[in-house]
Chain A
């Protein structure tokens, strides 16, 4: 009996036999077994792709090479070269210009609302958040630095973000109900304008979440805007004339 060549049998691992070859394979157990062995080899090869082994590289080595290549920026250097390195944009579908502009506006509004309140309290000689035992802005920075080593994974970072978001909302609610130093003296129109701005922020960030539902930054902005909106609503409720009820917002 004439057998198929080893190379032809190897080819038949993922190839269809001709009519003559098929007839031979049907009649020759040895060649049929050889073809099955070829199939198994192919399965082993495909499984090899999913095999995970220890990386060849270490981050220390890669980082050193990246630094030598000028690919890792220090804080000042990163700020200085950011515009130049943004020449090649990311996919337009994911980061549409109007959306980016809206997000920038949203960030600006949040910074004005939240940051303004904090700065106002600090400039009045009080802590940024009542009950928060830090020694001014320098103390807050030191506190942030002390948190940094605890963030070793993405999960850690997400937990910190979630905790910060909870704290932010709690602090905003606290200020809305109990604090009168920085917020309480404003007219209802101020709160209404703020609510309108926060509604715009919430709408923009909600739309952004449809495109990037897992993005932690957008989630953070969205939740913070909801928290600030809730706090503003409470403040507005305390400033309306007696007997007046909120009918919208």
Chain B
């Protein structure tokens, strides 16, 4: 649903009802992306509140080039990534993903099935979760992710594929078919 410009103008003027109308309409989407990126519910709630203040602060810069929801979503992603950097969750992405590699302990992970993809994402390292959420859930390109995270597009791809491989095992009961292969086959094609 489109947001009428009168509501935005009133919100810029500090009208409480208009601000609340924006929050009511867009909180489900904005809070959802924060929750996915941050993972921890308590930290996510704090970040989400910061995101909303940032959205309200930035209202005068909204020029209507995109849907308001898209604009707010972009602010939410940027602000959340900044918050994650402060929490030192993204800074060691490469190290963390190697330590949390999909190939390290397959037997243990195979026994740890997640109920939903949301649950499964909580088992990813923060950096891998960020790349997976941005690419596969939010539809960012690897180039956009690289720019956001300060890594290379190749690094983004590498992390994404490892994250997918891990999630695929955690969600085996949801994505496997009876013809699915045994986990003992792992030798690559040369």
A interface residues with partner B (beta carbon < 8 Å): 2-11, 13, 20-21, 24, 29-34, 36-38, 40-42, 44-46, 48-49, 51-53, 55-57, 59, 61-63, 65-66, 69, 71-73, 77-78, 81-82, 85-88, 90-91, 94-95, 154, 212, 214-215, 217
Contacts and interface: CB of A to CB of B under 8 A. Distances in A.
Contacts of B27: 55, 57
B165 A81 contact: no
A73 B176 CA distance: 55
Given A30-B181, A56-B35, A71 B53 contact: yes
Nearest to B25: A154
B38 to A, nearest CB: 9
A3 B187 contact: yes
Interface in B131-180: 132, 136-139, 157-158, 160-162, 164-165, 167-168, 171-172, 174-177, 179-180
Contact of A214 (B4, B57, B174, B179): B4
6 contacts: A41-B171, A42-B136, A46-B136, A48-B117, A56-B31, A66-B52
Given A34-B180, A44-B175, A7 B15 contact: no
A56 B175 contact: no
A201 B153 CA distance: 57
The interface residues of chain B, by DSSP majority, are classed as helix
A42 B20 CA distance: 35
Interface residues of B, number: 71
The 7 closest A-B pairs by CB, nearest first: A30-B181, A73-B14, A10-B164, A91-B64, A45-B136, A5-B188, A40-B175
Contacts of A4: 188-189
B13 A78 contact: yes
Contacts of B36: 48
Nearest to A42: B136
B21 interface: yes
A82 B11 CA distance: 11
B44 A56 contact: yes
B181 A29 contact: yes
A7 B181 contact: no
B14 A65 contact: no
A34 B48 contact: no
B87 interface: no
A71 B175 contact: no
B105 interface: no
Contacts of B15: 73, 78
Given A7-B161, A90-B9, A72 B14 contact: yes
